[in-house]
């Protein structure tokens, strides 16, 4: 158990934007869970060639933190509870994900937090009596600083024959939960300079509850997040020493010799010495980038990691050489027993050191952590809000562009292509935004759990009640504040929706107005030009098109009467083309939007009715049908004449424009006598024009409109036109009948006289 070798895992981080700007070519290929193949960039291919590396584990770009933890550290970390030291350190170039893998303190937690959770849970379940102390150090250009007590200055390291490594003046703080460790790390990070080695030490004092002697064993969990370069941008000197140590150990291993390892050459290697040579389980996480930009560093990292993975700790080497395992086991065991006895003595003398950090300081750390958490929540809520709104806007744009595309597809290829391009771009953007939104929503879904965890941590802390109460109230206050904030965001979204809706309404209103204008204009056009002129067809939305005469082929394409250029606001259209995303620009698509409706077909002369003139029949629904037919159809149909001559009071049939047909007005008293009629007829003043005019005076509409209706609709009842006195519409048959009647009357009179 004591003679475990060092384990090495390699983690490849995902490509980042900077990598992709240069190339998306991957220089690493994971061939199986333990093997990695390097693929050099083309220019180095001949010189370097591909190389295979083997490690304990290889994790590709999509491996999760959870995966890595479960495979590498989950069980190994529990060795601490058996009194065995555990060391975890990351190795790799800048930006390869060392801190991400080891130290991530929120959401996608790093290995450290996961390991601490595992430890605290196990202690809780197994009810082990363990006291833990936490220290946090930084090595900066060979100076060792205490991040929990920056007043201490450069700390000295010394080796104690009994106790091993001792760091003078290093602050050790009791911790009982992961959250407390997080608090301390966050506190320490504020003191830390960037790009340096961070070393965290968790010392465990384990009370052995098996057996009666209640011995205390001690184990150390050392976590080192190593910087690649120092402040000056040079490769870190301590890391160089570590590299030397690793190569020498590797060499010694291969040659099976007992080497001299220069641990003392740097503070980093002095601290890590036990991890390579003593009672320790060591896990090295080599972090590499897949990009060709970092190829050199990647190879260097892999080389050192491979050397390290071949190193058995010195104890084993020695044992292998001397082949006296039993004896050495005993030696190491005795050493540990002595050490434990010593510690026990110490403990009896002055019980475990009281926490240096007082309630007030600790509360401050909790407080900062609570504020950090809620700020994070607020940021994420704001991002969710932002993405939701952006998504609404993009959807709106896509719809608008799709409508535009439908409208001009097949008419203006260039514009259609540009709309298609815009739609495609927006759809991509929409997809990205939706992905982002899901990500944020996923993060937000954990807030509830995190809030509860915060509360629990406060409750479980060893703070006095008044401090606890203060922190619980602080959490509640922040929850309330956030709820108010969320309501405000929702209100804002509603308000923005309302504005968007209003804009759509405004556009639709303007479209309706435009349509009305077009209809009115076309009516006017028909009235002015009559049936002999084809209805003018207007250009499509493309205002550059000339006004064209609607041939059949064109009508097929443009099923609706086209609209005169001036209906389109050309400037607005051009502006719209230039800034297609603006939803404020007017949309001038009314006439074509009506495409689903039946196209407006101008009235053509009613040939059918003209044909029927000689034998008129009344349309079924025509109000005239109610009139006694003989009054209308017989030769006395001339009675209609006064209607179209002068006096409106004499009207018998009045065209009811509003009702859309003729109205029968029966006013027998007003019907002129035969004599009167005769006089009128004989006056011969009734040309077509005068008839028209007189007729129009009986109507309530404007002359221009009546004119058309006169021409087209007056034919419908037929009766008036059957009158021989309406020029151009004389019905010869009736004329003959009248003459015959008159002849009969004459003959009758003559016979009477006889
Ligand atoms: N596996 C990963 N998944 C997602 N993001 C990652 C991963 N690895 C690294 N990153 C991201 O890459 C960036 C650099 O990572 P990180 O700071 O951990 O690198 P580092 O090796 O510690 O760098 P340095 O030595 O300069 O401190 C960070 O933004 C981190 O979130």
Kindly state the tokens that stand for 348: 């009896």
Distance of CA 96 from the midpoint of ligand 1 (Å): 5
What pLDDT, on the 0 to 100 scale, is given for residue 38? Answer: 87
Alpha carbon distance 449, 373 (integer Å): 12
What pLDDT, on the 0 to 100 scale, is given for residue 101? Answer: 94
630 & 565 share domain: no
438 & 386 share domain: yes
Atom number of ligand 1 nearest to Cα 103:
18
Atom number of ligand 1 nearest to Cα 228:
25
**Which of 288, 323, 351 marks a domain boundary?**
351
368 & 272 share domain: no
Distance of CA 375 from the midpoint of ligand 1 (Å): 22
Atom number of ligand 1 nearest to Cα 226:
25
722 & 662 share domain: yes
User: Is 356 inside any structural domain?
Assistant: no
Q: Which residue's alpha carbon is nearest to atom 11 within ligand 1?
A: 97
What pLDDT, on the 0 to 100 scale, is given for residue 447? Answer: 81
Alpha carbon distance 104, 75 (integer Å): 20
Q: Which residue's alpha carbon is nearest to atom 10 within ligand 1?
A: 97
Kindly state the tokens that stand for 303: 């080389």
Distance of CA 14 from the midpoint of ligand 1 (Å): 9
444 & 326 share domain: no
Tell which residue, 645, 735, 640, has the closest CA to residue 688.
645
What pLDDT, on the 0 to 100 scale, is given for residue 316? Answer: 31
Number of domains the chain contains: 3
Residue 188 annotated as lining a ligand binding site: no
Distance of CA 372 from the midpoint of ligand 1 (Å): 21
Atom number of ligand 1 nearest to Cα 16:
12
Q: Which residues pair with 655 in a beta bridge?
A: 662
Element (H, E) at 222: strand 216-225
Residue 96 annotated as lining a ligand binding site: yes
Q: Which residue's alpha carbon is nearest to atom 12 within ligand 1?
A: 97
Element (H, E) at 114: helix 111-126
Atom number of ligand 1 nearest to Cα 63:
1
Q: H helices of 278-324, where?
A: 295-310, 314-322
Atom number of ligand 1 nearest to Cα 11:
1
Distance of CA 301 from the midpoint of ligand 1 (Å): 16
Residue 98 annotated as lining a ligand binding site: yes
User: Is 629 inside any structural domain?
Assistant: yes
The 10 Å Cβ neighbour count of residue 613 is 15
Tell which residue, 638, 625, 657, has the closest CA to residue 719.
638
Distance of CA 377 from the midpoint of ligand 1 (Å): 22
Kindly state the tokens that stand for 238: 């301590």
Pocket test for ligand 1, best of 19, 69, 94, 95 (most atoms within 8 A of CB): 95
Atom number of ligand 1 nearest to Cα 100:
18
Atom number of ligand 1 nearest to Cα 61:
1
581 & 613 share domain: no
Q: Which residue's alpha carbon is nearest to atom 24 within ligand 1?
A: 94
DSSP secondary structure string for all residues of 596-664: GSPPP-PPPP-HHHHHHTTS----TT-GGGGS-HHHHHSGGGGGGGGGGTS-GGG-SEEEETTTTEEEE
67 & 122 share domain: yes
Site of tokens 């290995």: 111
Q: List % helix, strand, coil for the chain (3-state, nearest 5).
A: 55, 15, 30
User: Is 665 inside any structural domain?
Assistant: yes
**Predicted complex: ipTM over 0.85:** yes
Q: Which residue's alpha carbon is nearest to atom 16 within ligand 1?
A: 97
Element (H, E) at 472: helix 465-529
592 & 732 share domain: no
Atom number of ligand 1 nearest to Cα 227:
25
What pLDDT, on the 0 to 100 scale, is given for residue 375? Answer: 82
What pLDDT, on the 0 to 100 scale, is given for residue 683? Answer: 53
What pLDDT, on the 0 to 100 scale, is given for residue 719? Answer: 34
Kindly state the tokens that stand for 25: 């070519």
CB 654 within 8 A of CB 662: yes
User: Is 483 inside any structural domain?
Assistant: yes
What pLDDT, on the 0 to 100 scale, is given for residue 96? Answer: 92
What pLDDT, on the 0 to 100 scale, is given for residue 588? Answer: 33
How do 35-38 and 51-54 pair as beta strands?
Answer: antiparallel
Distance of CA 247 from the midpoint of ligand 1 (Å): 27
Distance of CA 171 from the midpoint of ligand 1 (Å): 29
User: Is 738 inside any structural domain?
Assistant: yes
User: Is 602 inside any structural domain?
Assistant: no
Kindly state the tokens that stand for 654: 């009045």
Site of tokens 């994971």: 30
User: Is 557 inside any structural domain?
Assistant: yes
Distance of CA 179 from the midpoint of ligand 1 (Å): 23
Domain of 185, in residue numbers: 7-351
User: Is 458 inside any structural domain?
Assistant: yes
Please list, in sequence order, all residues whose beta carbon lies within 8 angstroms of the beta carbon of residue 123, skipping any fewer than 6 positions away: 81, 130
Distance of CA 358 from the midpoint of ligand 1 (Å): 34
**Which of 351, 374, 409 marks a domain boundary?**
351
Distance of CA 454 from the midpoint of ligand 1 (Å): 26
Element (H, E) at 688: helix 688-697
Atom number of ligand 1 nearest to Cα 225:
22
Residue 92 annotated as lining a ligand binding site: yes
CATH of the domain at 80: 3.40.850.10
Phi, psi (deg, nearest 5) at residue 393: -65, -45
Q: Which residue's alpha carbon is nearest to atom 23 within ligand 1?
A: 95
> Dmax of the chain from CA atoms?
172
Length of the chain: 754
Q: Which residues pair with 145 in a beta bridge?
A: 138
Q: Which residue's alpha carbon is nearest to atom 15 within ligand 1?
A: 97
Pocket test for ligand 1, best of 58, 61, 91, 100 (most atoms within 8 A of CB): 100
DSSP secondary structure string for all residues of 152-214: S-SPPEEEETTTEEEETT---EEE-SHHHHHHHHHHHHTTPPTTSEEEEEEEEEEE--SSSS-
Task: Determine whether 670 is exposed, middle or buried from the number of CB atoms within 10 Å of its CB (0-12, 13-18, 19+).
Answer: middle
572 & 485 share domain: yes
**Which of 596, 623, 638 marks a domain boundary?**
596
Say which DSSP state 4 is in: P
Alpha carbon distance 576, 585 (integer Å): 6
Pocket test for ligand 1, best of 10, 13, 138, 231 (most atoms within 8 A of CB): 13
Residue 97 annotated as lining a ligand binding site: yes
What pLDDT, on the 0 to 100 scale, is given for residue 230? Answer: 73
Site of tokens 């009477």: 752
Alpha carbon distance 691, 153 (integer Å): 117
Q: Which residue's alpha carbon is nearest to atom 14 within ligand 1?
A: 95
Dump strand ranges (E) for 77-156: 85-92, 129-140, 143-146
Task: Estimate the crossing angle of helix 178-189 against helix 447-460, to 10 degrees.
Answer: 100
Pocket test for ligand 1, best of 99, 106, 193, 235 (most atoms within 8 A of CB): 99
Distance of CA 36 from the midpoint of ligand 1 (Å): 21
| Ligand 1 pocket by Cβ (under 6 Å) | 13-14, 92, 94-100, 227-228, 287
Cα→Cα distances 735→531, 643, 682, Å: 28, 20, 15
426 & 543 share domain: yes
Distance of CA 246 from the midpoint of ligand 1 (Å): 24
337 & 407 share domain: no
462-516: pLDDT as tens digits: 788 888 888 888 888 888 888 888 888 788 778 877 877 887 787 777 777 777 7
The parts of the chain modelled with pLDDT lower than 50 are 1-4, 312-325, 328, 350-356, 531-668, 670-671, 684-731
Task: Estimate the crossing angle of helix 465-529 against helix 703-713, to 10 degrees.
Answer: 70
Residue 93 annotated as lining a ligand binding site: yes
Residue 309 annotated as lining a ligand binding site: no
CB 116 within 8 A of CB 109: no
Atom number of ligand 1 nearest to Cα 104:
18
Site of tokens 């929409």: 430
Distance of CA 94 from the midpoint of ligand 1 (Å): 8
Alpha carbon distance 204, 221 (integer Å): 8
Alpha carbon distance 480, 485 (integer Å): 9
415 & 447 share domain: yes
Pocket test for ligand 1, best of 12, 89, 97 (most atoms within 8 A of CB): 97
Distance of CA 706 from the midpoint of ligand 1 (Å): 83
């Amino acid at each position: 158990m004591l003679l475990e070798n060092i384990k090495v895992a390699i983690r490849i981080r995902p490509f980042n934007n900077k990598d992709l700007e240069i190339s998306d070519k991957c220089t690493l290929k994971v061939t199986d869970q333990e093997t990695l193949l390097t693929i050099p960039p083309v220019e180095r291919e001949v010189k370097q060639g591909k190389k295979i590396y083997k490690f304990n584990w290889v994790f590709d770009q999509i491996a999760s933190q959870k995966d890595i933890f479960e495979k590498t550290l989950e069980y190994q970390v529990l060795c601490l509870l058996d009194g065995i030291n555990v060391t975890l350190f990351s190795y790799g170039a800048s930006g390869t994900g060392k801190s991400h893998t080891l130290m991530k303190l929120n959401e996608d937690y790093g290995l450290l937090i996961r390991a601490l959770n595992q430890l605290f849970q196990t202690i809780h379940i197994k009810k082990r009596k363990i006291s833990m102390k936490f220290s946090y150090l930084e090595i900066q250009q060979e100076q060792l600083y205490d991040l929990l007590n920056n007043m201490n200055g450069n700390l000295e390291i010394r080796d104690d024959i009994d106790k091993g490594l001792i760091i003078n003046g290093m602050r050790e703080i009791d911790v009982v939960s992961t959250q407390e460790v997080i608090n301390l790390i966050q506190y320490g990070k504020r003191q830390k300079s960037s790009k340096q080695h961070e070393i965290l030490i968790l010392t465990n004092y384990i009370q052995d509850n098996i057996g009666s002697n209640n011995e205390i064993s001690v184990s150390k969990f050392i976590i080192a997040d190593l910087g690649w370069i120092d402040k000056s941008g040079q490769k870190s000197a301590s890391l160089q020493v570590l590299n030397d140590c690793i190569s020498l150990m590797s060499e010694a291993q291969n040659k099976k010799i007992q080497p001299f390892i220069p641990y003392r050459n740097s503070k980093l290697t002095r601290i890590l010495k036990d991890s390579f040579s003593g009672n320790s389980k060591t896990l090295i996480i080599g972090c590499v980038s897949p990009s060709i930009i970092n190829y050199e560093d990647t190879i260097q990292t892999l080389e050192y990691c491979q050397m390290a993975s071949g190193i058995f700790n010195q104890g084993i080497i020695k044992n292998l050489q001397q082949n006296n395992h039993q004896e050495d086991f005993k030696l190491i065991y005795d050493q540990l027993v002595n050490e434990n006895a010593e510690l026990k003595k110490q403990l009896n003398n002055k019980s475990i050191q009281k926490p240096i950090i007082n309630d007030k300081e600790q509360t401050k750390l909790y407080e900062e952590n609570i504020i950090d958490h809620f700020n994070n929540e607020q940021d994420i809520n704001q991002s969710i809000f932002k993405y939701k709104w952006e998504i609404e806007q993009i959807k709106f744009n896509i719809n608008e562009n799709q409508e535009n595309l439908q409208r001009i597809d097949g008419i203006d290829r260039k514009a259609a292509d540009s709309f298609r391009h815009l739609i495609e771009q927006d759809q991509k953007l929409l997809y990205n935004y939706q992905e982002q939104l899901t990500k944020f929503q996923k993060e937000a879904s954990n807030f509830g759990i995190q809030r509860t965890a915060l509360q629990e941590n406060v409750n479980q802390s060893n703070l006095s009640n008044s401090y606890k109460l203060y922190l619980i109230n602080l959490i509640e206050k922040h929850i309330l504040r956030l709820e108010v904030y969320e309501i405000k965001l929702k209100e804002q979204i509603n308000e923005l929706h309302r504005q968007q809706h209003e804009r759509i309404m405004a556009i639709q209103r303007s479209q309706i107005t435009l349509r009305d204008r077009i209809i009115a204009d076309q009516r006017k056009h028909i009235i002015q030009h009559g049936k002999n002129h084809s209805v003018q067809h207007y250009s499509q939305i493309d205002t550059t098109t000339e006004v064209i005469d609607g041939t059949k082929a064109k009508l097929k394409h443009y099923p609706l009467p086209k609209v005169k250029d001036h209906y389109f606001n050309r400037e607005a259209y051009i502006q719209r083309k230039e800034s297609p995303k603006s939803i404020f620009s007017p949309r001038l698509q009314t006439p074509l939007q009506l495409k689903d409706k039946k196209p407006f077909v101008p009235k053509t002369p009613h040939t059918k009715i003209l044909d029927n003139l000689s034998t008129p029949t009344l349309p079924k629904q025509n109000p005239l049908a109610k009139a006694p037919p003989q009054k209308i159809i017989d030769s006395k149909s001339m009675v209609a004449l006064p209607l179209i001559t002068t006096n409106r009071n004499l009207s018998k049939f009045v065209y009811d424009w509003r009702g859309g047909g003729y109205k029968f007005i029966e006013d027998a008293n007003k019907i002129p006598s035969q004599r009167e009629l005769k006089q009128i007829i004989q006056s011969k003043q009734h040309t077509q024009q005068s008839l028209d005019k007189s007729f129009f005076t009986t109507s309530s509409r404007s002359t221009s409109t009546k004119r058309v209706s006169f021409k087209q609709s007056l034919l419908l009842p037929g009766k008036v036109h059957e009158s021989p006195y309406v020029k151009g519409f004389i019905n010869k048959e009736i004329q003959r009948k009248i003459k015959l009647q008159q002849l009969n009357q004459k003959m009758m009179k003559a016979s009477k006289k006889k």
